[in-house]
Amino acid sequence: MASAKRILLSWSGGKDAAWALHELRATADGAVVGLLTTVVPELGRSAMHGIRLDLIRAQANAAGLPLLEVPLPWPCSNAEYEAAFLAGLAGAREAWGITHVAFGDLFLADIRTYRERLLTETGLGALFPLWHRPTGALLDTMLAAGVKARIVCLDPAQLDRGFAGRELDAESVAQLPPVVDPCGERGEFHTFVTAGPMFAASISVFPGQVVEREGFVYADLVQTQPA
């Protein structure tokens, strides 16, 4: 009898990663034992989407999972990223006994191939629980299940700047240009999840400053402190 999987989930803070957690908990032969996110310590933010680390940590707490923060330099070369990522996996294997790493990718074959190649020499399996799900129907399912998310980063060449900081709800989805993937899989936009069935409690945020840097528009979210 095969041993149950012990899964580390690559965590961006966005809806696809969050829904991957939900799916893995419902269907995987094993358990998600932790989340991994890359961070820039000197900025106090996640490396992927520039989200404040207190918000990423609040998500992990709401999910009831430990968070492995893999530090990256800034700026960071791809070689430096790979070395840090693989070191993080080695640490997670030792501490948590992980056997697999899961990703929330949807349909970009080159990204999947890259991730699988990166894991080749680690002996860890790669899981893609959302792979080839029709993205429009997938987003509808997320929203119907109570997922709440805000757009925290977008490519202004593909999506109007006015979407930065907006909640990704039925109204905003209906206003997306036809060429934009509903889940933003081609890099049109990225999100931060504040509520959903994968969390024991919601995370209260308010939109802060919207800035543009290196060709992308970022909406800074700030956590609302309890009264």
Can you give the pLDDT at residue 31?
95
Can you give the pLDDT at residue 147?
98
Confidence of residue 148 (pLDDT cuts 50, 70, 90): very high
Can you give the pLDDT at residue 2?
55
CB 13 within 8 A of CB 37: yes
Cα–Cα distance for residue pair 35/60, rounded to 1 Å: 7
Can you give the pLDDT at residue 127?
97
The CATH class, in words, for 5-127 is alpha beta
Can you give the pLDDT at residue 163?
97
pLDDT per residue as tens digits for the range 77-130 = 999 999 999 999 999 999 999 999 999 999 999 999 999 999 998 999 999 999
**pLDDT tops 60 at residue 145:** yes
Helix (H, G, I), strand (E, B) or coil at 106: coil
**pLDDT tops 60 at residue 193:** yes
Average of per-residue pLDDT across 155-173: 96
Domain with CATH 3.40.50.620 in the chain: 5-127
pLDDT per residue as tens digits for the range 17-59 = 999 999 999 987 889 999 999 999 999 999 989 999 999 999 9
| Residue of 53 and 2 predicted with greater confidence | 53
- pTM of the full predicted structure? 0.95
Element (H, E) at 191: strand 189-195
CB 142 within 8 A of CB 134: no
Average of per-residue pLDDT across 4-26: 97
Tokens of 39: 């961070």
Tokens of 86: 């693989």
Average of per-residue pLDDT across 122-146: 97
Can you give the pLDDT at residue 226?
52
Average of per-residue pLDDT across 9-23: 98
CB 12 within 8 A of CB 103: no
Q: What phi-psi label fits residue 13: left (phi over 0), alpha (psi between -120 and 50 degrees) or beta?
A: left
| Residue of 208 and 6 predicted with greater confidence | 6
Q: Is the dihedral of CA 19, 34, 108, 72 positive or negative?
A: positive
Provide CB contacts within 8 A for 138, sequence distance 6+: 19, 106, 130, 182, 183
